[in-house]
Structure 1
């Protein structure tokens, strides 16, 4: 699926653009809402000029020889050390993946899966799908009762919620094909962190304390991730406490010594299979032995003078990102201004249609026909836009996936790495929910995923993120579940420009979309774009959620007058980790201030 498209507006023509701009002249947006200040930094005026559109004032990290941005300072430091030791971007990425499995157990993993997008220094692009698979004994209705109703919780917590992990195989494949340092070298930092321990951040401690009850309930008799065994619920972790994971260190040492066989065969496979029997899960040693990640052709699509390199299915994110960017490409977002009513309206309507298409068409391409080329074509997108109206919001109840002739019918982590030579890696990896299924493999010391919830366990029934699925994403043995993860790399004028991605469940695709547009349409630096407040619409439920301060009073009033349902969040959207190539060739590492995310460069 090597898909390269010319810019959407070139095929569409400019009639729509001119007409839209003329119609839009009656709205509240004006071209003078943006004032350029020194060094390319933009400030956005509103009714209150003191209001900032940013979550924080964090500035980016600048480096010329390499950059790593990840969810945890320890993992970013590991990646930087690998780069300084002569490793390339893939070496550093593999080391960060395993380090996150130690220091960020809520999402970093060896018991989950993910996607990698890689662009080498010569501009050649690759993508690796190491998404989890359904066990061989999985059935389409395994989470339904005798009446066909969903049995709550079975796909979210406990042993039955887990798919066959892909992370270790994915890292083995990536390193085997592109690594420069030895396998032992890139594994050693994670082993050291697990065996010697690392000091918890405040967020680390809060997360582990939050799941104490689940740990005791789902893992009776185990002491993993508990500060005290008895009574565990009365002893809490604190910032600075040392977390040592001896069994996980042994598991990592087996992977270091034996490669893929150190996880999918032998002692670790035996421990995992025994844990599944103990908790009535489905994964067997045969499932583990038969798992393999797969190299896929990345999606390559043009946007103005940029090239978008992104993930194909089993990710839904790549197709969705291209669709959203193509829907908005004909419109003068830069003129209208960041998060002004016209800009937001077009973006919401794009998101609404994209998520409806996701529900209808997308699934594992090894099992279902995914009409990727058609979904991103100008002709198809033009038909999807015919019911757009400036006067009022589209009713999601009236929106379904589009029609294609001949077709039959939120905890994650991301990291971005660029090395001295310009090789770039964008990886999003996950256990699905925070700490996955909360099952810890006895004797091996790592969390298992709850990725089975990402299947459509019943057509029309929402998953834990509220996403609706259909038959294309139904459960089947050895099938990969659909994902929203959207690791992406952009080129500008044929040269490396941006590495981007985020966790966030169903909000991943829209957060990546906004972060890209913030830079290329609204003139933000990489860190400003990450800091910028965000919003999200996903077709159903029919509402737009937004971070506090993302919309001005004028924007809120204008959108509500057209029938948009808006809901301000008490929490945040996204955990971006990105790298931008600046005009002078240096790298700007941007990590999200909403969490412990950290960029390191040199």
Structure 2
């Protein structure tokens, strides 16, 4: 069966600000096979030539008219597409993708973690769902400190004590119950099949599992989960093309498919999880699981020129920070200055410096601390934060603290973006925190637990694994949600859906989303170009700017260094973006990051 999804050539003449010629345009749609159905999918060309160094690669975007799915793994993208083609909506596809990622992307896809969802329906109404993990009811503020008050290394990162109460399953149940169209059994079936029948590992999949083998053997000494051999202690390595079958995980998914929330939080899976915690000295109990509930929160909605930013409120710090960054940037002619020109970069670095200082001081779980969100994003407050900015020199981070508000008391995640035929849009970022979380695999259930406790401020002023500094607002407390940098975001243009964006990356999530949005809005890039574009990051402390190789020209580096900026070229990369943009003709451009196995699928 040959199904023509797109016909003809659709011209796209956008790119970097300085380019004076239009990019070459392919007039021949690519043909690919998706689950036995051949589909024409037009690929958007990426600019080449003198500006090519601005991009990580020349990967092409994908165009579809009836829906788009962009995720971290090619299999999960196919799952999402199949749900849309079966008549499901964006939330149905999102739930199916979420559970599929728990099977095919154990690095960050999860049952034992949590996340955030931003949803905009076809009528323009926005919703946000917080299914972030919580500390156990038995957690204490100083649980990771020794008798002298010093942090005990690794306790909040590796092993059973590092895990918070998972929120993923309850979050997906809530999202589907409110907005789903297909049955719960239908959207769970692809994940069940993948776990039971297995899937073929990509090279990146195999490399990741081999890398954590030592931790798996140490933390799970009597188990063989995620090991190639079924003999405990065997060190046989995984290779590309090997089939990973997860029998216990398939049984867990079948129980969730049958009983929903009741299994994971009060049934057999809850029993297995609590038993695993007792076995390894963790804190999570049956009562912690029973008492966990995801929370619907009011979305942050703010304007930037003729665009509306719809993003996540706390316990994500991402939404507040993103709005601050956009508003710091708005008065400046970035388009005129140009992409990553010295003045453009300087304004962005200085905005990032102040925003991350505010994050440290003010942000935490709104159910536990008073967060002055409106004040933090207000133009008057931001003007006071900007009074010490000078183009002549870099601001010293040691002189920057969180701002003063009257009356106030003091890259191991995954993202996916989905838009359906009707224009409903979902932006979800979910995580175990570090890659493969705490490395604890729940015996009998077959899934990794998170190490989200490290996202609390274990001790005020001491950085977490991402180098972020926290204070009292994000201190550990029983049943409290830890602060996150996840920034799932939807952008409107002139009142209509325009972009769905997000990325993993720990502390770099916020700045990667910020740059990707500006790349489209200010620098005229296509969605895929904005994802491909090289990136940089500053987070207040440590006082340095890291950047991907090629992100700054030699001239930009020289000018910034002359003004006192400390620059560090990375040997790795920033961000793993998965985004969707609505093109002027109403079709969708799916953009997936070339830095990993990320894949967009449309129809």
Q: Report TM bin, short chain.
A: over 0.9
Residues 168-216 of structure 1 show CA distances to partners (whole Å, capped at 9, x for unaligned) of 0000000000000000000000000000000000000000000000000
C-alpha distance 205-380 of structure 1, shift in aligned 2 (>3 A): same
Tell whether 2:428 aligns with 1:431.
no
SS of match in other structure, 1:234: coil
> What residue number does 2:348 align with?
347
> What residue number does 1:234 align with?
235
Matches of 2:256 and 2:51 in 1, distance apart?
A: 53
Matches of 1:51 and 1:455 in 2, distance apart?
A: 40
Question: 5+ unaligned residues in a row in structure 2: which ranges?
Answer: 1-15, 26-43
Aligned-residue RMSD, C-alpha: 1.3
Whether the aligned pair in 1 keeps the contact of 2:460 and 2:471 (CA below 8 Å) is: yes
The alpha carbon displacement at 1:93 in A equals: 0.1
Matches of 2:259 and 2:318 in 1, distance apart?
A: 34
> What residue number does 2:209 align with?
208
> What residue number does 1:501 align with?
502
The alpha carbon displacement at 1:432 in A equals: 0.0
Whether the aligned pair in 2 keeps the contact of 1:299 and 1:310 (CA below 8 Å) is: yes
The alpha carbon displacement at 1:51 in A equals: 5.1
Whether the aligned pair in 1 keeps the contact of 2:76 and 2:97 (CA below 8 Å) is: yes
C-alpha distance 302-438 of structure 1, shift in aligned 2 (>3 A): same
Question: 5+ unaligned residues in a row in structure 1: which ranges?
Answer: 1-30
Whether the aligned pair in 2 keeps the contact of 1:34 and 1:44 (CA below 8 Å) is: no
Whether the aligned pair in 1 keeps the contact of 2:46 and 2:58 (CA below 8 Å) is: no
> What residue number does 1:141 align with?
142
Moved more, 231-240 or 498-507: 231-240
The alpha carbon displacement at 1:34 in A equals: 3.7
SS of match in other structure, 1:52: helix
Tell whether 2:22 aligns with 1:37.
yes
Matches of 1:562 and 1:401 in 2, distance apart?
A: 23
The alpha carbon displacement at 1:32 in A equals: 8.0
Structure 2 counterparts to residues 452-471 of structure 1, below 5 A: 452-471=453-472
C-alpha distance 137-231 of structure 1, shift in aligned 2 (>3 A): closer
Residues 61-93 of structure 1 show CA distances to partners (whole Å, capped at 9, x for unaligned) of 100000000000000000000000000000000
Matches of 2:589 and 2:20 in 1, distance apart?
A: 22
Matches of 2:368 and 2:339 in 1, distance apart?
A: 41
Matches of 1:340 and 1:282 in 2, distance apart?
A: 50
Structure 2 counterparts to residues 172-211 of structure 1, below 5 A: 172-211=173-212
Matches of 1:456 and 1:136 in 2, distance apart?
A: 17
Tell whether 2:520 aligns with 1:535.
no
Tell whether 2:144 aligns with 1:159.
no
Matches of 2:204 and 2:450 in 1, distance apart?
A: 21
Whether the aligned pair in 1 keeps the contact of 2:46 and 2:59 (CA below 8 Å) is: no
Tell whether 2:322 aligns with 1:310.
no
Matches of 2:176 and 2:413 in 1, distance apart?
A: 22
SS of match in other structure, 2:53: coil
> What residue number does 1:549 align with?
550
> What residue number does 2:521 align with?
520
> What residue number does 1:482 align with?
483
Whether the aligned pair in 1 keeps the contact of 2:375 and 2:381 (CA below 8 Å) is: yes
> What residue number does 2:601 align with?
600
Matches of 1:231 and 1:261 in 2, distance apart?
A: 32
The alpha carbon displacement at 1:228 in A equals: 1.0
Structure 2 counterparts to residues 71-470 of structure 1, below 5 A: 71-230=72-231, 232=233, 234-470=235-471
Matches of 1:425 and 1:41 in 2, distance apart?
A: 26
Residues 140-181 of structure 1 show CA distances to partners (whole Å, capped at 9, x for unaligned) of 000000011000000000000000000000000000000000
Whether the aligned pair in 2 keeps the contact of 1:35 and 1:42 (CA below 8 Å) is: no
Whether the aligned pair in 1 keeps the contact of 2:315 and 2:481 (CA below 8 Å) is: yes
> What residue number does 2:41 align with?
none
C-alpha distance 32-369 of structure 1, shift in aligned 2 (>3 A): closer
The alpha carbon displacement at 1:262 in A equals: 1.4
> What residue number does 2:4 align with?
none
* TM-score for the superposition, normalised by structure 1: 0.93
SS of match in other structure, 2:185: helix
> What residue number does 1:18 align with?
none
Whether the aligned pair in 1 keeps the contact of 2:438 and 2:449 (CA below 8 Å) is: yes
The alpha carbon displacement at 1:574 in A equals: 0.2
The alpha carbon displacement at 1:230 in A equals: 3.7
SS of match in other structure, 2:95: helix
Whether the aligned pair in 2 keeps the contact of 1:212 and 1:233 (CA below 8 Å) is: no
Tell whether 2:559 aligns with 1:558.
yes
The alpha carbon displacement at 1:35 in A equals: 2.5
SS of match in other structure, 1:432: coil
Matches of 2:571 and 2:45 in 1, distance apart?
A: 28
SS of match in other structure, 1:177: helix
Matches of 2:224 and 2:231 in 1, distance apart?
A: 9
Matches of 2:47 and 2:388 in 1, distance apart?
A: 34
Whether the aligned pair in 1 keeps the contact of 2:307 and 2:491 (CA below 8 Å) is: yes
* TM-score for the superposition, normalised by structure 2: 0.93
SS of match in other structure, 1:114: strand
Residues 248-280 of structure 1 show CA distances to partners (whole Å, capped at 9, x for unaligned) of 000000100001001111110110001000000
SS of match in other structure, 1:82: helix
Whether the aligned pair in 2 keeps the contact of 1:44 and 1:53 (CA below 8 Å) is: no
> What residue number does 1:20 align with?
none
The alpha carbon displacement at 1:233 in A equals: 5.1
Matches of 1:455 and 1:32 in 2, distance apart?
A: 41
The alpha carbon displacement at 1:556 in A equals: 0.2
